[in-house]
Amino acid sequence: MKLSRKWLQEFVDLGPVSDRDFAEAMTISGSKVEVTEDLGAEIKNVVVGRIEKMERHPDSDHMWVCQIDVGQEEPVQIVTGAWNIHEGDLVPVAKDNSWLPGGKHITRGNLRGVKSKGMLCSLKELNLDERDFPYAAITAAALLNDYKPLDPEKPSIPAGIQPGHKIYGPVVAAEVLECTPLGGGSYHTCLMLKDATACPDIRCDNVHVGDMVAYNTKTDTLCTLEDLHAEQKEFPHCIPDGIFVLREEGIKPGDDIRPVIGADDHVVEFEITPNRPDCLSVIGLAREVSATFDKPCRFHQPEVKGGAQGALPELLDVETPDPDLCPRYTARMVRNVKIAPSPKWMRERLRSSGVRPINNIVDITNYVMLEYGQPMHAFDYRYVKGGKIVVRRARAGEELTTLDGNVRKLTPDMLVIADDTRAVGLAGVMGGLNSEIVGDTVDVVFESANFEGSCIRKTALALGMRTEASAKFEKGLDILNTLPAVNRACELVELLEAGEVVDGVIDILNYVPQPRTILMDPARVNALLGTGIDPVDMYQYLERVGIRTETGDFPNAPARVVVPSWRADVEGIADLAEEVARFHGYNNIPNTLSAGLNERRGWNPVQQAENTAGTLCRGLGYSEIITYSFISPAYYDKINLPADSPLRNSMKILNPLGEDTSIMRTTTLPSMLEILARNFHYRNKAVRLYELGRTYFAKGDGSGMADEPKVLSLGAYGGGIDFFGMKGAVEAVLEGLRIAGFRFEAETGNPSYHPGRCARIYRGKTLLGILGQVHPAVAENYGADCELYAAELDFNALFTGMGGAPVYQPLPRFPAVTRDIALVCDKDLPVGKLEECIFRGAKGLLKAVSLFDVYTGKGVPEGKKSVAFSLELRADDRSLTSQEADEDVKGILELLSKELNSVLR
Amino acid sequence: MKEQLEAIRQGALESIAASQETTGLEALRVKYLGKKGELTAVLKQMGGLSAELRPVIGQLANDVRASLEQAIEAQSAVLSRKALEAKLAAEAVDVTIPGKKPPLGHKHPMYSVLDEMKEIFLNMGFEIMDGPEIEQADYNFTKLNAPENHPSRDWTDTFYLKEDSSVLLRSQTSPMQIRAMEGYGVPIRMISAGRVYRKDEVDATHSPMFHQIEGLVVDKGITMADLKGTLNAVIREIYGPETVTRFRPHHFPFTEPSCEVDIQCYKCGGQGCPTCKGEGWIEILGAGMVHPKVLRNCGIDPEEYSGFAFGMGLERLALGRYKISDMRLIFENDVRFLEQF
């Protein structure tokens, strides 16, 4: 919401408060100021000047050398290429060393040998346009001395044409002998034809003594380019553009231009929270300013003279068949409207508030919407068929072309303003094109209604057309505001002499709001805030925002208070506490720490496990990543997931940002591979990553909720990583988490992994996860031309499998005996089977087995391999003899031979 | 004979002093002091001496032996010290050659900041709770007092998983307030952090998935002053003890009174600069006293209990802390980025 400080001044006289102090105070009391704009900040050293003298540039066919009075002793000389100025005109002058909007710096210069000490400004150069100053529109006559034929061989107008020569029909060439501005954009001229003169008053701005013009003897006017059916390039300097010739009252040479063009205002932009729609208006903000600075607010009661012909009840009939969607409908009528630009002060205020001026009637509705926060709509009475307005639900299939020219398909949840036969507007959103205010509009209906917020919101959303009006309605507006707003509009019509107001008001009140009173309890407010504010002060703070006790006093005790109609957000004691706190100052509330401790506190066991897992991964060189929980369905294809895989049953986002983020992942593998591949493409050489992230599976209990198990995933490539590197990392993590008794089993059937380099990890019968080399075809899907390794560990299973606190085992007091054995066995026999068999064959002395060699080749038969282990045997109560050790090894070898056909090499 | 002994002494001492190797020294010892050595040979001639001379020469001979032994020992020490020095010199390394560094993983900067936050609250006696990301609209909105037509409920703002808008990806961590109060009752002092989702296109300051940290304290007699005291303490731990804060009124459906908390811009000290968009202040979190309706929605009597709640975005905190210019870096996971933290 943009607030003009000049407009605000009309309601609250603050005296001199700097923008910074104003913003700070308002922000601290709850109306956050986003930015303050000084409209004239970019304009410096630009003044009003009067053109004293104009002479044609001696060395140019189009430039003028002007002597300008800028309020100094000596006039300044400025060269301009514009043709719409005349001696005596008041114009904006950017003096030597001046600044214009957009950071344009103007300095003295030299134009074809003639000194120029500044620049005359156009509207555009002051960041304005013709809607801001409609009178500054320029009409250009076709000047024959500017004529450049399209084809030099065949000019339409002969070179050296003389006064009186016929151009076509009644149009002849004429030389300007005299041209005197009459004010208001018209000029008195004296033209020489051949042997006669003509003295028309013209409205062309670019005519000067000595020019040759095309004079229509029949209409006594000068021809424009249009009249001659000429193209712009035939008359390159006869353009509808030029210097902004000022027609403001009471200005003189030397005056600062900023107040003249309304650039002396400061505009404050507020962030208004959705609970305060009342602050989306000048009056609403004025109330807040008044409360913040504790200064009185001057409100204005609109007064309408009325008296136009006709009786309102006969002219207009309003029906509201859906009262729940239209709690109130207020309307008035204006007749004999004269559509014209609105006055400068109104245009300036609209502009400051970010609204472009259009015409007096439309500007009035916008002005009232800004001032009162009440959206208004004006429509042309002649298009209200049958003089009847029906506020009803749209019919199925009904269509309406809105003011923006779009055809809208309506549904019965939408509310329309209709006449007897058709919709003429989309209630609370936008008017219809069929009832738009146009140049020849005579009678106007002003609508000031209250529509149900969520209906308007849904309509705007469904049609994708959130407007200024709908944004206000959807928040819920003050139902008491419609009448003053419509009266204000009518008052402005009379002030602007834009039409005649018909007596009376149509006001359908389907819901009569009752004054709301709630209990104010100062003790509870202090208890909630942790303050010791005097109750009397509290009631005074509340009074500032219009919340008063029923008796209007400031008691020292609980009392009922009346909440104003525009403060629907104030419902109970907590809201009153906020109002008190706002004006007492949040920053004046003390700082305390609450007493009391929690039974549950600190990291819980799961969180501790998560922390430990992270620490372990990082200790192993793996860095943490964060990936999106949502993925593309195509990712399942990328990891070669079979079409019938249950993992494809992802929960779907119904309104995703895009396909890429449209389903909730059931596996973290594609996320990890995505990041590995990205790093690969960034040419990072050795990469180790981990993530503890969630996967999502529908609970299927009708709640729509999900199980969200966490997966600890690891990923790596480069830096010498191989299957055993990844396996070693997983083993270290499991051991670090004190998970005992896990084992690895070859997994050949997982389509995402290399069939010969993949293992499932078990603890007992519980699957802890999977690890291995990513299937080369999958790696290729990710464009990674190297071996990728990954592990996916079910964090829940890890947590469940964690051992308790360690129990000390006495250190060995007797030496161990080591025996190395090399076994020959089938090539396909997993080492794990041998190891497991070795442990079973031992008779209680074997403490550790470690693999130290696997060999195939010379000396080992075809289809066999040699596997070498180092066995450590020890007794806890004595030194072991060689015989005892050998006895144990013998048992082991027997079992190996029997079960696995594996013998000593 | 006396002359002989003196000659041996002189010659031997010279040879010993000149010896440069342990083997040579040993040969000298044998040469002079060995069984067949020169000194022994001289002593063997002692029998031919007069009784008067014998003790004198004997004395002299012992003297010579002792001085030779001493010299050999001394020279031996010198030589072994030299040998050690030579060995050490040969073993010298170029200390500027890079070390053999075991690879070290890095915590994601976002989670470094999060863990820091968690530690601060744990130390204040809070517990940490975890909850679902796929959430019911009831918890994400309704029980938090968000009106039926609140814009954040729009399908343009929040991701939905059910046509009737009853299940969604949580758009804030605030539903954990409800889950905490429903699940554990009062008193409660908890924080909950995690992923939240909003329908924002990815750019330098937005991501459809981001992280929040939520806090809730409910007990008898909890005041807005407690809210301020707690948050000020936390903010000063994060941003330093000199940090200036500003509490200003704001609006959230689930708190009343509500506030936003700003810190004075650390870059310009409040003068206004590009970092604080000229405001002099940087907004860091939202907070407020738990709305009586929310307490009631969770079966807690607002006449008896009160509480405060707060929430803040973590990305912005991490970005500010590490001067990271673009939020996309957070989710890009380039190791060259991760390894900086």
Chain A: nearest CA to B300, how far in angstroms? 16
User: Using CA of residue A39, residue A42, residue A47, residue A52, what is the dihedral sign?
Assistant: negative
Select the residue of B125, B159, B257 nearest A577 (Cβ to Cβ). Answer: B257
Peptide bond preceding A158 in cis form (omega within 30 of 0) = no
Chain B: nearest CA to A759, how far in angstroms? 24
Distance between CA atoms of A143 and A854, rounded to whole angstroms? 103
From chain B, the residues in CB contact with A268 under 8 A are none
| Average pLDDT of chain A, as a whole number | 92
User: Using CA of residue A8, residue A9, residue A15, residue A17, what is the dihedral sign?
Assistant: positive
How many residues are there in chain B?
341
The dihedrals phi and psi of A211, each to the nearest 5 degrees, come to -70, 155
How does residue A196 score in pLDDT terms, banded at 50, 70 and 90? confident
Nearest chain A Cα to B332, which residue?
A: A675
Predicted confidence (pLDDT) per residue in A363-382, tens digit = 999 999 999 999 999 989 98
Select the residue of A30, A620, A703 nearest B105 (Cβ to Cβ). Answer: A620
Contact yes or no for B132 and A706 at CB 8 A = yes
Q: State pTM to two decimals.
A: 0.83
How does residue A588 score in pLDDT terms, banded at 50, 70 and 90? very high
Contact yes or no for B333 and A625 at CB 8 A = yes
Chain B: nearest CA to A745, how far in angstroms? 28
Q: Find out whether A266 and A1 touch, Cβ atoms under 8 Å.
A: no
Strands A623-624 and A687-694: parallel
- The better pLDDT of the pair A662, A356 is held by A662
- The better pLDDT of the pair B55, B158 is held by B158
Distance between CA atoms of B226 and A868, rounded to whole angstroms? 69
Distance between CA atoms of B214 and B175, rounded to whole angstroms? 9
State the pLDDT at residue A183. Answer: 81
Per-residue pLDDT, averaged over A562-576, amounts to 95
Residue A219 CB neighbour total at 10 angstroms: 12
**pLDDT score of A595 more than 80:** no
Distance between CA atoms of A797 and A729, rounded to whole angstroms? 17
Task: Pick from A573, A624, A630, A688 the residue to mutate for testing the B interface (most B CBs within 10 Å).
Answer: A624
Q: Which of residues 572 through 611 in chain A touch B, CB cutoff 8 A?
A: 572-575, 577-578, 581-582, 586-587, 589-594, 596-598, 600-604, 606-607
State the pLDDT at residue A71. Answer: 92
Task: Find residue A35's DSSP bridge partners.
Answer: A269
Contact yes or no for B156 and A461 at CB 8 A = yes
> Shortest CA distance to A739 belongs to which of A641, A806, A816?
A806
State the pLDDT at residue A766. Answer: 96
Distance between CA atoms of A106 and A98, rounded to whole angstroms? 5
Q: Find out whether B301 and B180 touch, Cβ atoms under 8 Å.
A: no
Percentage above 90 pLDDT, chain A:
72
From chain A, the residues in CB contact with B222 under 8 A are 594
Distance between CA atoms of A613 and A555, rounded to whole angstroms? 62
Predicted confidence (pLDDT) per residue in A277-292, tens digit = 999 999 999 999 999 9
How does residue A42 score in pLDDT terms, banded at 50, 70 and 90? very high
**pLDDT score of A647 more than 90:** yes
Distance between CA atoms of A393 and A426, rounded to whole angstroms? 10
State both tokens at A285.
């903000």
Percentage above 90 pLDDT, chain B:
65
**pLDDT score of B205 more than 90:** no
Quick check: helix, strand or coil at residue A851? strand
Angle between helices B53-91 and B22-33 (to 10 degrees): 170
A656 touches chain B (CB under 8 A): yes
From chain B, the residues in CB contact with A27 under 8 A are 248
Task: Pick from A278, A518, A528 the residue to mutate for testing the B interface (most B CBs within 10 Å).
Answer: A528
**Exposure string for A132-170, b = 16+ CB within 10 A, e = fewer:** bbeebebebbbbbbbbeeeeeeeeebeeebebebebeee
Contact yes or no for A627 and B336 at CB 8 A = no
Q: Please report which helix (H) or strand (E) contains residue B137, including its range.
A: helix B137-140
How does residue A594 score in pLDDT terms, banded at 50, 70 and 90? confident
Contact yes or no for B133 and A578 at CB 8 A = no
Strands B134-136 and B167-169: antiparallel
Task: Find residue B128's DSSP bridge partners.
Answer: B191
From chain B, the residues in CB contact with A530 under 8 A are 223-226
From chain B, the residues in CB contact with A696 under 8 A are 133-134
Per-residue pLDDT, averaged over A501-517, amounts to 91
Select the residue of A474, A602, A623 nearest B122 (Cβ to Cβ). Answer: A602
The two counts, helices (H) then strands (E), for chain B are: 12, 9
> Shortest CA distance to A49 belongs to which of A80, A27, A21?
A80
Contact yes or no for B195 and A629 at CB 8 A = yes
Peptide bond preceding B257 in cis form (omega within 30 of 0) = yes
Contact yes or no for B330 and A593 at CB 8 A = no
Residue where the block lists tokens 């079409």: A643
- The better pLDDT of the pair B112, A434 is held by B112
Per-residue pLDDT, averaged over A158-178, amounts to 89
State both tokens at B51.
């009784």
Residue where the block lists tokens 């529509």: A451
Nearest chain A Cα to B199, which residue?
A: A657
From chain A, the residues in CB contact with B134 under 8 A are 651, 664, 696, 704-706, 708
- Chain centroid to CA B208: how far? 31
State both tokens at B2.
């006396």
What is the DSSP secondary structure assignment for residue A810, as one 8-state letter?
P
Q: Which of residues 283 through 312 in chain A touch B, CB cutoff 8 A?
A: none
Select the residue of B219, B248, B258 nearest A594 (Cβ to Cβ). Answer: B219
Task: Find residue A769's DSSP bridge partners.
Answer: A761, A793
User: SS3 sequence, A89-112?
Assistant: CEEEEEEEEEEECCCEEECCEEEC
Per-residue pLDDT, averaged over A747-765, amounts to 95
**pLDDT score of A708 more than 90:** yes
User: SS3 sequence, A120-144?
Assistant: ECCCHHHCCCCCCCHHHCCCCECEH
Distance between CA atoms of A558 and A521, rounded to whole angstroms? 4
Across B62-133, where does the E strand assignment appear?
A: 127-129
From chain A, the residues in CB contact with B113 under 8 A are none
Contact yes or no for A598 and B208 at CB 8 A = no
State the pLDDT at residue A130. Answer: 85
How does residue A271 score in pLDDT terms, banded at 50, 70 and 90? very high
How does residue A155 score in pLDDT terms, banded at 50, 70 and 90? confident
Give the lowest-confidence range in A1-5, A292-296, A377-381, A596-600. Answer: A596-600
Percentage above 70 pLDDT, chain A:
100
How does residue A385 score in pLDDT terms, banded at 50, 70 and 90? confident
Chain B: nearest CA to A473, how far in angstroms? 12
Select the residue of A35, A578, A682 nearest B256 (Cβ to Cβ). Answer: A578
The ipTM is 0.87
* Measured CA distances, A825 to A645, A862, A898, A903 (Å): 38, 11, 12, 7
Q: Find out whether A332 and A502 touch, Cβ atoms under 8 Å.
A: yes
User: SS3 sequence, A338-394?
Assistant: CCCCCCHHHHHHHHHCCCCCCCHHHHHHHHHHHHHCCCCEEEEHHHCHHHEEEEEEC
**pLDDT score of A596 more than 80:** no
The dihedrals phi and psi of B121, each to the nearest 5 degrees, come to -70, -40
Q: Which of residues 443 through 472 in chain A touch B, CB cutoff 8 A?
A: 453-454, 457, 461
Residue B102 CB neighbour total at 10 angstroms: 8
Chain A: nearest CA to B205, how far in angstroms? 16
Select the residue of B105, B122, B188 nearest A688 (Cβ to Cβ). Answer: B105
Per-residue pLDDT, averaged over A841-859, amounts to 89
**pLDDT score of B271 more than 90:** no
From chain A, the residues in CB contact with B336 under 8 A are 682, 684
Q: Find out whether A100 and A126 touch, Cβ atoms under 8 Å.
A: yes
Chain B: nearest CA to A314, how far in angstroms? 39
Per-residue pLDDT, averaged over B278-294, amounts to 93
A705 touches chain B (CB under 8 A): yes
| Contact residues for B85 (Cβ-Cβ < 8 A; gap 6+) | none
Q: Find out whether A806 and A786 touch, Cβ atoms under 8 Å.
A: no
Q: Find out whether A220 and A206 touch, Cβ atoms under 8 Å.
A: no
Chain B: nearest CA to A152, how far in angstroms? 57
Contact yes or no for A623 and B217 at CB 8 A = no
**DSSP-H helix ranges across A496-561:** 522-529, 535-544
Q: Find out whether A132 and A351 touch, Cβ atoms under 8 Å.
A: yes
Task: Pick from A583, A594, A601 the residue to mutate for testing the B interface (most B CBs within 10 Å).
Answer: A594
B25 φ/ψ sector (left φ>0, alpha ψ -120 to 50, else beta) = alpha
Contact yes or no for A593 and B229 at CB 8 A = yes
Contact yes or no for A601 and B208 at CB 8 A = no
Residue A356: half-sphere exposure toward Cβ, Cα within 13 Å = 7
How does residue B218 score in pLDDT terms, banded at 50, 70 and 90? very high
| Contact residues for A88 (Cβ-Cβ < 8 A; gap 6+) | A50, A51, A181
**pLDDT score of A712 more than 90:** yes
State the pLDDT at residue B142. Answer: 95
Per-residue pLDDT, averaged over A439-449, amounts to 91
Quick check: helix, strand or coil at residue A782? coil
Distance between CA atoms of A758 and A746, rounded to whole angstroms? 6
State the pLDDT at residue B217. Answer: 96
Distance between CA atoms of A884 and B268, rounded to whole angstroms? 80
Contact yes or no for A604 and B127 at CB 8 A = yes
Chain B: nearest CA to A714, how far in angstroms? 12
> How many contacts does A have with B, using Cβ atoms within 8 A?
247
Q: Taking CA B237 as the corner, what is the angle to CA B231 and CA B242, rounded to the nearest 5 degrees?
A: 95
From chain B, the residues in CB contact with A718 under 8 A are none
- The better pLDDT of the pair B273, A330 is held by A330
Chain A: nearest CA to B92, how far in angstroms? 29
| Contact residues for B200 (Cβ-Cβ < 8 A; gap 6+) | B206, B207, B208
A474 touches chain B (CB under 8 A): yes
State the pLDDT at residue B122. Answer: 92
The dihedrals phi and psi of B305, each to the nearest 5 degrees, come to -115, 155
**pLDDT score of B323 more than 80:** yes
| Contact residues for A186 (Cβ-Cβ < 8 A; gap 6+) | A201, A202, A203
State the pLDDT at residue A866. Answer: 93
**DSSP-H helix ranges across B153-223:** 175-184
